[in-house]
Amino acid sequence: MKIGVNYTPSQGWFHSWLDLDLDATRRDFEAISGLGLDHVRIFPLWPLLQPNRGLVRPRALDDVVAVVRAADEFGLEVTVDALNGHLSSYDFLPSWVVTWHESNLFTDPLVKAGQTDLISQLARRLREEPNVTGMTVGNEFPQYAALAPGHCHPTRSECTVDQAQTWLETMLGTMRNQWPDGRFWFGFDDDLWFVDDHPFTPRHAVTQGSSTTVHSWVFAQVGPRFGQGHPALTWFPRYLLELARAWSPDPDRRLWLQEVGAPRTHVPDDQAADFVTSSLTSVSTTPGLEAVTWWCSHDVSDQLLDFPELEYSLGLFTNDGRPKPEACALSDMLPDLRTAQPQDQPDEPLEFSADWVTGMGRSACSPMGSLFASWVDEAVRTGRAPKLALSQPDQYAHHGHQVMSAH
């Protein structure tokens, strides 16, 4: 199992791409490597890479490659997110898709042509770097299509389930054309697993890309429902991984816990190290889990204003580079995590009913419902993660052509 961290630069956060300081980047990577971590996920900003639909800046691509090579100096593998997009409550969209040029990010042919041009040029550069293992299309990019009450984007790009499928296939095809032996992923926030009418569905997550990614955050539903210190918080990432396994028609499909973190809204400072240990213990025996990437490397500086309060304390390191107790806890766990083996699970799965094609019915899996509560109760009682099962698995066979398109 690979164990790494989502890289949030200590100097300037992601605004550091504006005036890249490689010495500061190297200091960050040295500290990350010093914990024993083996990879980082990095986030160049879309408007800086492609400020005009016809201009992918060579200097910006050079900066991405320079950061990749700095990571290699410290033995770190790298994955790169391309369309960022959205990060820590802020949107980073180029001017040619907003305000007077407002366009649909998923269906406008000109926008898609611009997106594929950027992905093509980035892939051609990254495929030459031996420590880059692949690309994620962008960080939780489908949130721009979200419909969930309270989560609907203020300038939503509306699309259907079929249009979402076409967009995913287009982006994936572009990457594969430029980098046939690369690995490619899509990152999704958990609305995809829980919101019935979200146009991006669990089917998309488990059939598109090289493996299924999961982002585990307890501040939205689990924490408010169960409260600080409840075991539901540290079992939640495993629940999401089991949910991904239940939706997948391929029992051997690999999983990547691409984001998991300890938000101080529900994980106080004095519980953070235990939260790391318990969360990663819960996922370590997951069948098919190939990587865990903690969010994030460094706290956001308090000199940067207007972030949600929890963003200032999510790092393994303080903003000035000091390792926090959760960094030490993670480092101490690495030998056990890397040698962990899948654990036997109860024979009888907990079943749920939903439409595999449209995703309707997936709200039954929400952390606010009875399925999750029952799953947590069973996990706590036995110390083993129960299986989950979609109750109409024959739906897979009826749509086999869509499954095969992912391979």
Q: What is the pLDDT of residues 56-112, one digit of tens each?
A: 999 999 999 999 999 999 999 999 999 999 999 999 999 999 999 999 999 999 999
For 103, the token pair is 């366009």
Strands 388-390 and 350-352: parallel
For 69, the token pair is 């090579």
pLDDT at residue 347 in the model: 79
pLDDT at residue 396 in the model: 57
Distances (CA, A) of 123 to 65, 82, 118, 296, 398: 11, 9, 8, 24, 34
Q: What is the pLDDT of residues 332-346, one digit of tens each?
A: 999 999 999 998 887
d(Cα 356, Cα 400) in Å, to the nearest integer? 12
**In a domain? residue 337:** yes
Confidence band for 405, pLDDT divided at 50, 70 and 90: very low
Helix, strand, coil percentages, rounded to 5, for the chain: 45, 15, 40
Whether the predicted pLDDT of 375 surpasses 70: yes
**In a domain? residue 400:** no
d(Cα 325, Cα 34) in Å, to the nearest integer? 15
d(Cα 48, Cα 394) in Å, to the nearest integer? 46
Residues 118 and 49 sit within 8 Å (Cβ to Cβ): yes
Q: How many Cβ atoms sit within 10 Å of the Cβ of residue 313?
A: 20
Residue 95 three-state SS: helix
pLDDT at residue 175 in the model: 96
Mean pLDDT of the chain: 94
d(Cα 52, Cα 182) in Å, to the nearest integer? 27
**In a domain? residue 139:** yes
**In a domain? residue 171:** yes
pLDDT at residue 343 in the model: 87
How many domains, the chain? 1
pLDDT at residue 153 in the model: 85
Residues 267 and 222 sit within 8 Å (Cβ to Cβ): no
Q: What is the pLDDT of residues 158-209, one digit of tens each?
A: 999 999 999 999 999 999 999 999 999 999 999 999 999 999 999 999 999 9
**In a domain? residue 383:** no
pLDDT at residue 152 in the model: 81
**In a domain? residue 59:** yes
d(Cα 346, Cα 388) in Å, to the nearest integer? 10
Residue type, 13: W
As a whole number of Å, the end-to-end CA separation of the chain is 23
Q: Which residue has the tokens 């030490």?
A: 328
For 194, the token pair is 């829980």
Of 268, 218, 209, 267, which is closest to residue 238 (Cα–Cα)? Answer: 218
Instruction: Indicate the pTM of the whole model.
Output: 0.95
Q: What is the pLDDT of residues 10-31, one digit of tens each?
A: 999 999 999 999 999 999 999 9
d(Cα 406, Cα 157) in Å, to the nearest integer? 24
**In a domain? residue 392:** no
- Domain range spanning residue 97? 2-345
d(Cα 166, Cα 173) in Å, to the nearest integer? 10
d(Cα 233, Cα 266) in Å, to the nearest integer? 9
Q: Among 40-54, 333-347, 352-366, which is the least confidently predicted range?
A: 333-347
Confidence band for 155, pLDDT divided at 50, 70 and 90: confident
pLDDT at residue 6 in the model: 98
Residues 126 and 72 sit within 8 Å (Cβ to Cβ): no
**In a domain? residue 89:** yes
Question: CATH no. for residue 320?
Answer: 3.20.20.80
**Sequence-separated (6 or more) residues with CB below 8 Å from residue 89:** 307, 308, 311
Give the up-direction half-sphere exposure of residue 249: CA atoms within 13 A in the CB hemisphere: 22
